[in-house]
Amino acid sequence: VGAQLSQDNPPAGYHQTRSAQLRRGKVVLGSIGEIDPTVLANFGVVGRVACVEVNLSLLLAETPKPAAAQFVSKYPSSDFDLAFVAPEKVSSSAIQKAIRQAAGNIVVDVALFDVYRGKGVAEESRSLAFRIRLQASDRTLTETEVAEARAKCIAAAEKNGAVLRS
C-alpha cells in the first residue's frame, strides 16, 4: 500500500511512546497503538488497551506504483547488530533514520528487531536493538569500511540521545 509507520507525532489519545501513525508521504492514513492510561482512567478502564484506526477511503484511494525490480549484488553484505539504551521520549524511528543516514550509500537495511524494558534498563528508558546490513554493488566492503560505517551509526544514534548498550 506504499505506507509507513511513523512514531514522530503520536496521535492524540494514544500512549506517547507505544503508538504510531500510518502514513503515505505526509498523508495520515491511520493510527495504531495503546490508548493513553489517563484516557483509560477517565473512563474507569483498568489495564492496557490497544487500538487500530485506518481510513480505508484514503488507503485505497491511491493505487500504489508497482514494485520495481531491484538489482541483486554479487558481492556479500556485512551485517551487524547494535543495541542502544534510549529515553522513552526519543522515537525509535528517529534513531533508525539517523543510523540509515549515517551509514551512507552502502546501507541496504536498518531494522529494529528488539525493544526491551526491564531489569538493567533505567525506568524512563528502553533498549533498542537494530540490525544493520551494509553492501556495495560494485565491490566487497573492506573491514575498515564496515568499521567506519559502524562508528558513524553509533555517533548518529548518540546524537539522538541513545547510548550504546554494553
Alpha-carbon distance 9 to 83, whole Å? 24
User: What's the pLDDT tens digit per position in 78-107?
Assistant: 999 999 999 998 989 899 999 999 999 999
11: three-class secondary structure by DSSP: coil
Same domain, 85 and 43: no
Which pLDDT does position 24 carry in this prediction?
82
Alpha-carbon distance 6 to 154, whole Å? 22
Domain that holds residue 45: 4-61
Number of domains in the chain: 2
Residue 72 within any structural domain of the chain: no
DSSP string, 109-148: EEEEEEEE-STTS-TTEEEEEEEEEE--SSSPPPHHHHHH
Tell me what the pLDDT averaged over the chain comes to.
90
Same domain, 91 and 156: yes
